[in-house]
Amino acid sequence: MTENNNLQEEPSYLIDTGKRKGILAWLTTIDHKRIGLLYLWSIMVFFIVGGILGETMRTELYKPGQQFFGPQTYNAIFTLHGLIMIFLIVIPGLTVVFGNFVMPIMIGANDVAFPRLNLFAWYLYILGAAVVVISQFTGNGPPDTGWTFYAPYSTQTHTNVIAAVSGAFILGFSSILTGINFIVTIHRLRAPGMSFFKMPLLPWAVYATAWIQVLATPVIGITLLMIIAERVFHIGFFDPALGGDPILYQHLFWIYSHPAVYIMILPAMGVITEIIPTFCQKRIFGYKAIAISSLAIAGVGYFVWGHHMFTSGMSKEAIWTFSLLTFLVAVPSAIKVFNWVATMYKGSIDLKPPLLYAIAFIFLFSIGGLTGLVQGALATDIQVHDTSFIVAHFHYIIFGGVGFAFLGGIHYWYPKMFGRMYNFRVANIAWCFLFIGFNLLYFPQFIIGVEGMPRRYFDYLPQFTTAQQVSTIGGYILGIGFIILIVNLFRKNGAKATANPWGGKTLEWRLASPPPMENFPTPPSVPDNPYDYE
Amino acid sequence: MDHIELQRDDIGAKLGMWIFIFTEILLFGGLFLVYAVMRHRYMADFHLASLQLNTFIGALNTIVLLISSMTVAMSISAVQKKDKRMATILLSITLLCAVIFLVDKYFEWGHKISISLYPGTDLMQSLKHGYILFFSLYFFMTGLHMLHLIIGAVILIVALVKIRMGLINDEHYVLLENGGLYWHLVDLIWIFLFPLLYLVT
């Protein structure tokens, strides 16, 4: 159980041992660990851009009336903010960082099934991002449609929709290729003796996510092509003047974009499921329930898309059905929350930064999830649709959930990735700023949303001013928290990390920190239980 | 060395290709969904508009693609039997079928374009809604299919070159299998397109 694979003999994956050196070695790598880091740096850069856009909106919203820029600019800003955060950060997010870096090691593999395709997918990601950025500066100006590109506005506006949509299409292709890669990896490259039910739960989460990536993304692919065809050739699918139906766009869009939110959350839940047993030194409660619930969320998630369209004019039967299924899909998520809490019960709690993020995740995700049910109920949704209640809900789930899980995962696997520890006190301080700032930023938006504050508006009635100001201040506190976090993690002056600084049981903790290029020269011995603490 | 040796896994490669094929089916699925909705809405006009299409050429294309699917499958058997010459002949027939398909399409589309019957023209926009949507779907679906046919043909050309070079042989032919699988997908999509577009009368 304590094999010391390559602890001192082989150079780490961070050292260039091949023909090429430096940047070129990284840009031509097919090592899943390096590709994971390529994604991590890219995501960090794009997150800073997207975050600044968010802070810019918050600054404009500090007082009613126009402060710094007008509605056209505001619309372009929230469009780009959404595009970056959704397509460049949270959809790829944990899958491409931790799915790439950690998952193959956890299943005892030396790499993914298609390493060159893996690098190609990263290049597509960068290309898609570049096209989205270019859309800001070419044509008749940056798109102002929102990241949702609803017809008929998106087919008629003069802004540069085609470029933005093309970027999203390329990003979708990258997502599909990663999904294919991970499915085949998990089917074909598990170490001898590691059956599906002896896999840790992060690979389970990544597996379920990969199936959604593969089966849902093509639908938005074709929908985006239809937008382009409408703008260029006037095909008329969404244009009533030619016989089409704009609601058809909404259906097609959400048939992907709802499963997409499960692409975002499932790997996040997988990361939380890895952190909690380690810092409670206790076997995960309900392993099979968590594994199956990942698949259940992936499956049922395909059937709830209409809950984004309750006010668009569907029949009573349709909205009842979508509402019922929406409530059903909440059940597997709730099962996971119970299992995490049950794991912590009577565990030997070690409140290190990763666990702080995991606990914050459970709290913030629960708020986000419960407010999702408010939206899933038909009558209440009529009140809150298109208000800042929705904005608060999805930021709690995506930012409070996926975002905090991402940060928890970074703090958990940082020693493994970089071979150094970091300062816990500063990490905890950053966490405080993030947690407090986050709640100040978004909680007031629930309240004013119910009171009628619309979303995507650059101006508002004076009665919402106090809440908006609290929210903006929260946003700045959040921003400070990120600065502290990033500076702390970039300072490479922590102690050298041992192979297993946290006492984890999954296979990555048997490798040196950082691991050598070849993970397992000989296949590892696979324990009967991946969380073998007792 | 700067990377570990890649281990060959033919089963994994085929699994990956099958999953990619699912994604392609879903890509076209979105179009089929739009077709279903619009046909339901404009049933009579879809019937009438479909009369403008040349069913003979459509049927010819169907047979051509079916033959090409047969020959690409046979070429795999030929490679397994180490018959390089037969594999080359069969793949060449497949590619010839692709060319015939494209030539037929050139005549079909060319005719429509010459009478201004394509999306965006004044003539098109003056027609009834069902007609407009039928032709939009016709051009979009057959156009996207044509693009995939060309991609499939390129993959098979690469396979043909590799057969000639001996890189695809009786011990190592997963690229040809995957290319053949992709070609079958292209054929399958057409098998659905043909009745839905040409035979709705």
CB contact under 8 A, B23 and A176: yes
Which DSSP state fits A95? Answer: I
Q: Within a 10 A sphere around the Cβ of A38, how many other Cβ atoms?
A: 22
CB contact under 8 A, A222 and B16: no
pLDDT at B161: 96
> What phi, psi does A12 have (nearest 5°)?
-75, 165
A-chain CB neighbours of B6 within 8 Å are: 30, 111, 115-116
> What phi, psi does A516 have (nearest 5°)?
-75, 170
pLDDT at A2: 43
Question: Would residue A308 be called left, alpha or beta, if left means φ above 0 and alpha means ψ between -120 and 50 degrees?
Answer: alpha
A-chain CB neighbours of B128 within 8 Å are: 243
When pLDDT is cut at 50, 70 and 90, the band that residue B3 belongs to is low
Q: How many CB pairs under 8 A join A and B?
A: 128
pLDDT at A124: 98
Pairwise CA distance, residues B88 & B71, whole Å = 10
Q: Within a 10 A sphere around the Cβ of A506, how many other Cβ atoms?
A: 22
Angstroms from A442 CA to nearest CA on chain B: 36
pLDDT at A243: 92
Chain A's closest residue to B139, CA to CA, is A235
CB contact under 8 A, B34 and A31: no
CB contact under 8 A, B140 and A214: no
pLDDT at residue B75 above 70?
A: yes
How many domains would you assign to chain A? 1
Q: Which residues of B touch A (CB under 8 A)?
A: 1-4, 6, 9, 11-12, 15-16, 19-20, 22-24, 26-31, 33-34, 37-38, 41-42, 118-120, 124-125, 128-130, 132-133, 136, 139-140, 144
Instruction: Report the CATH fold assignment for B11-198.
Output: Four Helix Bundle (Hemerythrin (Met), subunit A) (1.20.120)
When pLDDT is cut at 50, 70 and 90, the band that residue A6 belongs to is very low
The tens digit of pLDDT for each residue in A10-50 reads 889 998 888 888 899 999 999 999 999 999 999 999 999 99
The tens digit of pLDDT for each residue in A166-178 reads 999 999 999 999 9
Q: Which two tokens stand for residue B180?
A: 């053949």
Quick check: is A124 in a domain?
yes
Pairwise CA distance, residues A229 & B118, whole Å = 12
A-chain CB neighbours of B151 within 8 Å are: none
Quick check: is A524 in a domain?
no
CB contact under 8 A, B23 and A242: no
Pairwise CA distance, residues A356 & A72, whole Å = 40
What is the span of the domain harbouring residue A322?
A: 22-510
Concatenated DSSP letters for A39-94? HHHHHHHHHHHHHHHHHHHHHHTTSSS-SSS-HHHHHHHHHHHHHIIIIIIITTHH
When pLDDT is cut at 50, 70 and 90, the band that residue B2 belongs to is low
Burial-class residue A421 by CB neighbours within 10 Å (0-12, 13-18, 19+).
Answer: middle
Find out whether B95 and B156 touch, Cβ atoms under 8 Å: yes
Enter the pTM of the model: 0.94
Q: Which two tokens stand for residue A341?
A: 């809490």
Quick check: is A406 in a domain?
yes
Pairwise CA distance, residues A160 & A132, whole Å = 10
A-chain CB neighbours of B37 within 8 Å are: 245, 248
pLDDT at residue B5 above 90?
A: no
Pairwise CA distance, residues B121 & A243, whole Å = 15
Average pLDDT of the segment spanning A214-220: 96
CA pseudo-torsion sign A301, A304, A307, A313 = positive
When pLDDT is cut at 50, 70 and 90, the band that residue A53 belongs to is very high
CATH of the domain at A28: 1.20.210.10
Average pLDDT of the segment spanning A425-433: 97
pLDDT at residue B146 above 90?
A: yes
A-chain CB neighbours of B48 within 8 Å are: none
CB-CB: which of A28, A221, A233 is closest to B27? A221
CB contact under 8 A, A115 and B24: no
Look at the block and give the residue holding tokens 């390129």: B154
Pairwise CA distance, residues A4 & A7, whole Å = 6
Domain ranges of chain B: 11-198
Average pLDDT of the segment spanning A245-270: 95
Asked if this assembly's ipTM is beyond 0.90, the reply is yes
